[in-house]
Amino acid sequence: MFEDPAIAEAMRAYVLETAPVLALRLDAQHCVTASNSQARKMLPANLVGRPFAEQIVTFSHPVDLPALIRQGGLVHRLTVNTASGMPESLDFRFFSLPDGVLALGSLDIQEQQHLSSELLGLNSELNNLTRQLHQANAELAQLNQLKNQFLGMAAHDLRTPAGLIINYSEFVLDEAGDRLSAEHREFIEICRAAAEDMNQLIENFLDVSVIESGQLRLQFAQSSVPEILAGVGPIARMLAGRKKISLLVESPDDAPPLCVDKAKLQQVLVNLISNAVHHSQPGQRVWVSAHREAQQVVFAVRDEGPGLSPEDQSRLFTTFGRAGTKKTAGERSTGLGLAIARKVVEAHGGRIWIESTPGHGATFLFALPIQEYTAKP
């Protein structure tokens, strides 16, 4: 039946163009002179004219290709280089031709089935792990929401007693300050300062709970850069004055108006100025400035503190992330101020970063895009 020329031609065409079998014609020197479609797909390009032995991967002893060819149609497991770069093991048979050799290579069907079975098992395991991961992520999201709710409620409840301590401390100092001894007055000043620190921490906790719950709402309006800087002046000078630090504000004349939430932006500046003051010694200076760069306005807060190492810089702007440098007066911090600043700046479409060298102070900068303000009807 196979002597039928039509059948023989069909089988020949199948082997050359369709069959998952590598067919290589080698000359007397065992160089490749022709290949079928499967060989051209699987093996590296420019195969014709190169010795077939170059394609064989050897892990220990070199393969004696002439000896294998002399063994006729016996099966030999050879590992060859492929176009993908991954070696592939094939069962080769070699048949002598009048002017060369015919090399036929095929994959081990049982090995293919084994690999396919392993792949299906790994895929099933991956699907199970993916479902478990989705479930764990949902549980973490729920826990994070509960944490934000608890944090917001706790901070809100703590705000009232902290405010009372501040108010009554100020009342005592104003009304009975002259009748207090220097020691008693110092005690009350310490209580008021501690209560103010606590109140700032509470405000930071409230801000974080709002931001992480996705409820941060910005009230955009057109504001001038000098107006933004002037708004932080009083509280910034109070912070600096307590430590006898000079505060220098450089307001630009050419910066265009910005479309921002002025209150939130001023909170960012106060956080950065407070951070600079906390890391400065009495008698040092802190600079606050802004300037235009192309289509953005860059704000900067620079100090003369100890500076930050690259390792410390990598921890900044993350929730509860704090640098290794100590604050000069032992001020308390949760590491939330810079994280809040980053969230607010990014919500404005801007970015925030630090430039610092240990021993040479630090400069915190944030850039905001210049956008045309359009009032809502």
Q: What is the pLDDT of residues 203-250, one digit of tens each?
A: 666 666 666 666 667 788 899 999 999 888 888 888 888 889 999 988
Q: Where do the CATH 3.30.565.10 domains begin and end in the chain?
A: 221-369
What is the C-alpha separation between 31 and 314, in angstroms, rounded?
58
Q: Where do the CATH 3.30.450.20 domains begin and end in the chain?
A: 5-107
Contact criterion met (CB below 8 Å) for 96 and 27:
no
Q: How far is CA 208 from CA 142, 323, 338, 365, in A?
A: 17, 19, 11, 21
Residue 325: how many CB atoms within 10 A of its CB? 17
What is the C-alpha separation between 189 and 111, in angstroms, rounded?
81
| Averaged pLDDT, 183-192 | 83
What is the C-alpha separation between 272 and 340, in angstroms, rounded?
11
Q: Where do the CATH 1.10.287 domains begin and end in the chain?
A: 112-212
Range in 79-83, 126-130, 242-246, 335-339 with the lowest mean pLDDT: 335-339
Helices of type H across 177-283 = 182-212, 225-242, 262-278
- For residue 350, pLDDT over 90 is answered with yes
| Averaged pLDDT, 360-368 | 93
Q: What is the CATH number of domain 5-107?
A: 3.30.450.20
Contact criterion met (CB below 8 Å) for 279 and 303:
yes
Q: How confident is the model at residue 191 (pLDDT cuts 50, 70, 90)?
A: confident
* DSSP label of 177: G
Q: What is the CATH number of domain 112-212?
A: 1.10.287
| Averaged pLDDT, 89-116 | 81
What is the C-alpha separation between 182 and 184, in angstroms, rounded?
6
- pLDDT computed for residue 377 by the predictor: 45
Q: What's the chain's average pLDDT?
A: 81
- pLDDT computed for residue 374 by the predictor: 53
Q: What is the pLDDT of residues 71-93, one digit of tens each?
A: 877 888 888 888 888 888 888 98
- Three-state secondary structure string covering 51-96: EHHHHECCCCCCCCHHHHHHCCCCCEEEEECCCCCCCEEEEEEEEE
Q: Which fold has domain 221-369?
A: Heat Shock Protein 90 (3.30.565)
Q: How confident is the model at residue 122 (pLDDT cuts 50, 70, 90)?
A: confident
